[in-house]
């Protein structure tokens, strides 16, 4: 809670004036292209001079974290749109931050995008206004997580897998299975980590798909009551061995650096940072397969700077920018031509464009009561059930 000290009251008139002028300015800004709500823009107007982005860490880099990593400055110089950005740690956080109406653009994973559409927080995107949309892989366009009723709601950014990170001193050989964090977690009790979000239940479901086939799990995001209970039980067993859960990626980096955590789920970008600091860690993709993400740049329905927002969507889909951003995060790019701009072999490492491989990653999507795997005889546990269970698992 923010309390204004009594001495500040004298400045109230000035503040009031400032608020009024800001309101006036923003009112001018909104009249440009988008009327808000469910309509896509017809044509673009003049750039507003600024744009505010909400994205996963590592998606919007302007050189502050690493002077060599910067794809925001060229965009600002090209368009004159000053970029402000905020990072988030979980899709739920992104979903809530979008409700504040402060962001023009959001990079959303599949477990947030549909909810954003349903809540009316993002607007359809007119892909004709985005020349670089053409270069995007076809198998990423108009998918269930980035379009609704045949209407595109954004531009695909990149996709990747949640990986198993381990301390190479504790595991001289790379683990081949997720069992090191489930059935064999007791071997490193107190030093195991897991992603702190209800969506992590799907990781347990992927593990069960492989190890308990009689449960009949077809899709880790479509779990009926029995399947869901099995996954929750597995996670409750795991809970006894968890040192800490992570959603702040900096906290996980620190825990792996100090050795407080030695094994657990992670992202490639975390490994990149740890490698830079010389920590004894590595990542691997276990045999059971894994969950992953396929992200979409979306525009807020109440965007204050819709023209700069469109400019950003086009820029980040361009081969050069898409290559830089996705390589830095450690994921496959969405633009076919991006691989020409990435370092040797990095596209192959992420199986970019390999439709077959891409289909083996279980991309985050929001669980709903109507089973996503097409079953009609049962009702699946919806996301509110998942969040409730997640609190219970953590205890």
Partner 1 sequence: MTSTPAELRPRRTAARAGSVFLSTHPRARLALLLSAPLFWLGLVYIVALVLLLVTAFWSVDSFTGQISQTWTLDNILTVITGSLYQTVTLRTLGVALLVTLIDVALALPIAFYMAKVATPRMQRILVIAVLTPLWASYLVKAYAWRSVLSQDGILEWLVAPFGGHTPGYGLPATIITLAYLWLPYVILPIYAGLERVPDSLLEASGDLGGKTWSTLRLVVFPLALPAIIAGTIFSFSLSLGDYITVNIVGGANQMLGNLVYTNVGAANNLPLASAIALIPIVIIFGYLFLVRRTGALDNL
Minimum Å gap between C-beta 301 and partner 1 is: 13
Residue with smaller CB distance to partner 1, 14 or 391: 391
Q: Looking at beta carbons only, is 141 or 236 nearer to partner 1?
A: 236
Please name which of 213, 208, 207, 231 lies closest in space to residue 380, comparing C-alpha atoms.
231
CB of 6 to partner 1, least distance (A): 7
Residues that bind partner 1 (CB under 8 A): 1, 3-4, 6, 9, 90, 92-93, 95-96, 99, 115, 118-120, 190, 197-198, 239, 242-245, 254, 258-260, 366, 368, 382-384, 387-388, 391-392, 394-395
Which tokens sit at 183?
């059935």
CA distance 306 to 36: 10
Closest approach, Cβ 387 to partner 1, in A, equals: 4
| Distance between CA atoms of residues 102 and 104, nearest Å | 7
Our CB check for partner 1 shows the closer of 90 and 268 to be 90
* H-helix or E-strand spanning residue 55: strand 50-55
Q: Given the complex with partner 1, which of 58 and 243 has the nearer CB atom?
A: 243
Q: How far is the CB of 370 from partner 1 (least distance, A)?
A: 11
Q: How far is the CB of 287 from partner 1 (least distance, A)?
A: 27
Computed on alpha carbons and rounded to an integer, the radius of gyration of the chain in Å comes to 22
Cβ-based nearer residue to partner 1, 212 or 254:
254
- 187's CB contacts (< 8 A; 6+ apart) are 180
CB-CB contact of 107 with 300 (8 Å):
no
- What is 340-363 written as a DSSP string? GGSPTTHHHHTTTT-HHHHTTSEE
Positive/negative CA dihedral, 86, 89, 95, 100: negative
Of 3 and 68, nearer to partner 1 (C-beta) is: 3
336: DSSP letter: G
Distance between CA 139 and CA 313 in Å, rounded?
19
Shortest Cβ 100–partner 1 spacing (Å): 12
CB nearer to partner 1: pick between 46 and 169: 169
The CB-of-303 to partner 1 minimum distance in angstroms stands at 19
CA separation, residue 166 to residues 38, 174, 240, 286 (Å) = 45, 8, 19, 12
């Amino acid at each position: 809670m923010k309390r204004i000290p009594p001495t500040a009251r004298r400045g109230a008139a000035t503040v009031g004036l400032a608020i009024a002028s800001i309101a006036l300015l923003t009112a001018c800004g909104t009249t440009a292209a988008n009327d808000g709500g469910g309509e896509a823009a017809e044509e673009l107007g003049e750039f507003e001079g600024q744009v505010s982005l909400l994205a996963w860490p590592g998606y919007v880099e302007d050189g502050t974290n690493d002077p060599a990593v910067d794809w925001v400055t060229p965009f600002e110089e090209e368009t004159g749109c000053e970029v402000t950005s905020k990072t988030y740690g979980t899709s739920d956080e992104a979903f809530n931050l979008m409700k504040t109406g402060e962001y023009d653009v959001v990079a959303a994973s599949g477990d947030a995008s549909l909810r954003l559409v349903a809540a009316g927080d993002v607007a359809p995107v007119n892909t004709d206004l985005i020349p670089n949309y053409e270069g995007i892989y076809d198998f990423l366009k108009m998918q269930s997580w980035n379009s609704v009723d045949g209407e595109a709601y954004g531009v695909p950014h990149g996709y990747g897998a949640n990986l198993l990170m381990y301390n190479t001193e504790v595991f001289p050989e790379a683990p081949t299975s997720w069992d090191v964090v489930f059935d064999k977690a007791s071997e490193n009790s107190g030093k195991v980590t897991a992603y702190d979000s209800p969506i992590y239940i799907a990781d347990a479901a992927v593990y069960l798909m492989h190890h308990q086939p009689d449960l009949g799990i077809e899709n880790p995001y479509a779990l009926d009551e029995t399947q869901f209970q099995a996954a929750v039980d597995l996670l409750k067993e795991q809970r006894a061995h968890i040192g800490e859960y992570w959603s702040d990626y900096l906290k996980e980096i620190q825990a792996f650096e100090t050795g407080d955590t030695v094994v657990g789920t992670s992202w490639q970008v975390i490994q990149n940072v740890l490698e830079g600091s010389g920590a004894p860690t590595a990542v691997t993709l276990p045999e059971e397969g894994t969950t992953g993400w396929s992200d979409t740049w979306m525009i807020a329905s109440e965007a204050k700077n819709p023209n700069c927002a469109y400019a950003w969507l086009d820029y980040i889909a361009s081969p050069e920018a898409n290559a830089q951003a996705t390589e830095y995060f450690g994921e496959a790019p969405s633009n076919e031509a991006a691989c020409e701009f990435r370092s040797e072999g990095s596209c192959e490492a992420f199986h970019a464009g390999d439709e077959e491989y891409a289909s083996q990653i279980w991309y985050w999507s929001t669980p709903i009561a109507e089973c996503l795997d097409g079953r009609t005889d049962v009702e699946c546990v919806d996301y509110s059930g998942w969040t409730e269970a997640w609190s219970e698992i953590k205890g």
